[in-house]
């Protein structure tokens, strides 16, 4: 049997090949600066929206990696309420969602506070407010006291992917981790984020929720790297896209000695891809900000404002009078008047395709 990394003496004296990671590391740092620059040029409300977007994705996708689907609107509303962001149509959210959001915001908004055992236990309790994970009762708000295996496959044919640190060693390993996390400032925070993620997942200190807490720790250090609680990209979204490689590389490096070059390479590429996918979102937010600046003195009623924002945020399907009426809860006549008014103002235009029902889209933005 191959040894696990933690079975080696001084296993947390991690090493890596600088040459192998330097190029992608430099690129990541450059892109972080570029994204922050772009966002600072956006103005306050657009920046708030970008942060709301990224944090919502982070919460939703981090749970999706674990196979749990959360309601996007509920998560978004919960974050908006807690950050005091004015956004239309807030919906109430479940206690479970509130708990996950609480953990995420504590990690990203209070990124400069120390990470303590008490804080970690608080996050864990917030993730499992009922003391259960699905139908199973679990140990909540404390380190696990049982063995921990990561298995897959049908009963009787289980395949063990990983066996974590023995329960009696968890406290000692976590004390070492927290001491390093809070007191070792010799590393660039982006590299520290990658190492912290790996280290935490290897120890697997809790009965459940290790993946989500590990990703929250990553986000906390990325916020530190940028010196800001504003989040403009979602690492968890990207990990979800690359989930297969994520597990493969973890499985490989868990048997290494202490050389984690391969893990760092994967992590930095994943982070780079997370930022690249943000560029599209940023373009959309920029376009929206530019539009509202251009039309700050144009008379636009609340229904029109709601629908235009929906169009900018990526409206699904075709916009027709009937849809407008349904979403704004008005009559077809009122909806048609609203639309015609925006067409006359050059804001909406009818699409090329003919047919019985006219479809509308945003006209191209032209600066006056």
Residue 173 lies in a domain: yes
Residue pLDDT, tens place only, 75-90: 999 999 999 998 767 8
| 245, 262, 287 - which closes a domain | 287
For residue 158, pLDDT beyond 70: yes
Write down the pLDDT at residue 367.
44
Clarify whether residues 242 and 319 are in a common domain.
no
Q: How far apart are CA 39 and CA 7, in angstroms?
A: 45
Question: Which of 45 and 247 is assigned the larger pLDDT?
Answer: 247
Write down the pLDDT at residue 70.
96
Q: Could you list the residue range(s) of the whole structural domain that residue 90 is in?
A: 5-287
Residue pLDDT, tens place only, 204-224: 999 999 999 999 999 999 999
Clarify whether residues 248 and 326 are in a common domain.
no
Residue 212 lies in a domain: yes
Q: How far apart are CA 128 and CA 143, in angstroms?
A: 14
Residue 310: half-sphere exposure toward Cβ, Cα within 13 Å: 19
Clarify whether residues 26 and 113 are in a common domain.
yes
Clarify whether residues 349 and 259 are in a common domain.
no
Domains: count for the chain:
2
Clarify whether residues 66 and 41 are in a common domain.
yes
Q: Residue 136: CB partners within 8 Å, gap ≥ 6?
A: none
Q: What is the pTM of this model?
A: 0.84
Write down the pLDDT at residue 356.
67
For residue 352, pLDDT beyond 90: no
Clarify whether residues 127 and 239 are in a common domain.
yes
For residue 315, pLDDT beyond 80: no
Residue pLDDT, tens place only, 25-78: 999 999 999 988 888 887 787 888 889 989 999 999 999 999 999 999 999 999
| 287, 305, 320 - which closes a domain | 287
Residue 229 lies in a domain: yes
Write down the pLDDT at residue 366.
54
Residue 144 lies in a domain: yes
Clarify whether residues 161 and 307 are in a common domain.
no
Question: Which of 236 and 313 is assigned the larger pLDDT?
Answer: 236
Per-residue confidence band for 196, with pLDDT thresholds at 50, 70 and 90 = very high
For residue 341, pLDDT beyond 70: yes
For residue 258, pLDDT beyond 80: yes
CATH number (domain holding residue 353) = 1.10.10.10
> At CB < 8 A and 24+ separation, what contacts does 243-248 make?
243/65, 246/270, 247/161
Clarify whether residues 59 and 34 are in a common domain.
yes
40 and 293 Cβ atoms separated by less than 8 Å: no
Write down the pLDDT at residue 12.
97
Write down the pLDDT at residue 368.
40
Clarify whether residues 20 and 166 are in a common domain.
yes
H-assigned helices in the chain: 18-40, 44-65, 72-83, 95-109, 117-127, 167-183, 189-203, 210-226, 235-241, 243-253, 261-294, 302-312, 321-328, 332-344
Residue pLDDT, tens place only, 260-313: 999 999 999 999 999 998 877 777 877 888 898 899 899 999 999 999 988 988
**DSSP letter for each residue of 9-64:** TTTTS-B--HHHHHHHHHHHHHHHHHHHHHHHTT-HHHHHHHHHHHHHHHHHHHHH
The phi, psi pair for 92, rounded to 5°, reads -70, 150
Clarify whether residues 310 and 219 are in a common domain.
no
Percentage of the chain lying above the pLDDT 70 cut: 98
Clarify whether residues 214 and 189 are in a common domain.
yes
Write down the pLDDT at residue 282.
76
Residue 174 lies in a domain: yes
Residue 367 lies in a domain: no
Residue 311 lies in a domain: yes
Per-residue confidence band for 1, with pLDDT thresholds at 50, 70 and 90 = low
| 231, 260, 287 - which closes a domain | 287
CATH number (domain holding residue 68) = 1.10.3290.10
Structure tokens at 356: 């019985």
Residue 368 lies in a domain: no
Q: How far apart are CA 124 and CA 99, in angstroms?
A: 9
Per-residue confidence band for 355, with pLDDT thresholds at 50, 70 and 90 = low
Average pLDDT over the chain, rounded to an integer: 92
Write down the pLDDT at residue 154.
86
Residue pLDDT, tens place only, 106-129: 999 999 999 999 999 999 999 999
Clarify whether residues 342 and 236 are in a common domain.
no
For residue 174, pLDDT beyond 50: yes
């Amino acid at each position: 049997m191959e040894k696990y990394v933690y079975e080696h003496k001084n296993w947390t004296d991690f090493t890596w090949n600088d040459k192998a990671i330097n190029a992608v590391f430099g690129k990541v740092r450059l892109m972080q600066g570029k994204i922050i620059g772009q966002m600072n040029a956006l103005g306050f409300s657009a920046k708030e929206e970008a942060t709301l977007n990224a944090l919502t994705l982070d919460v939703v996708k981090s749970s999706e990696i674990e196979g749990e689907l959360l309601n996007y609107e509920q998560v978004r509303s919960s974050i908006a309420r807690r950050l005091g962001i004015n956004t239309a149509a807030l919906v109430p959210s479940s206690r479970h969602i509130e708990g996950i959001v609480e953990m995420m915001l504590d990690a990203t908004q209070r990124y400069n506070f120390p990470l303590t055992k008490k804080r970690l236990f608080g996050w864990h309790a917030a993730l499992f407010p009922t003391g259960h994970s699905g139908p199973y009762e679990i140990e909540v708000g404390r380190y696990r006291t049982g063995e921990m295996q990561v298995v897959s496959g049908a009963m009787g044919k289980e395949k063990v992917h990983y066996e974590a640190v023995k329960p009696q060693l968890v406290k000692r390993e976590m004390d070492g981790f927290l001491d390093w996390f809070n007191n070792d400032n010799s590393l660039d925070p982006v590299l520290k984020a990658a190492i912290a993620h790996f280290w935490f997942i290897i120890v697997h200190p809790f009965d459940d929720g290790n993946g989500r807490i590990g990703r929250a720790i990553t986000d906390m250090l990325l916020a530190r790297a940028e010196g800001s609680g504003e989040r403009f990209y979602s690492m968890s979204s990207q990990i979800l896209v690359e989930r297969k490689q994520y597990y493969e590389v973890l499985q490989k490096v868990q048997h290494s000695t202490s050389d984690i070059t391969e893990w760092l390479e994967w992590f930095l590429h994943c982070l780079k891809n997370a930022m690249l996918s943000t560029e599209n979102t940023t373009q959309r937010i920029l376009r929206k900000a530019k539009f509202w600046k251009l039309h700050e003195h144009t008379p636009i009623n609340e229904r029109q404002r709601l629908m235009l924002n929906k169009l900018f945020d990526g409206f699904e399907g075709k916009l027709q009078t009937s849809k407008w009426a349904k979403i704004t809860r008005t009559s077809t006549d009122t909806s048609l008047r609203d639309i015609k008014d925006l067409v006359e103002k050059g804001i909406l235009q009818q699409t090329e395709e003919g047919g019985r029902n006219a479809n509308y889209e945003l006209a191209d933005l032209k600066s006056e």
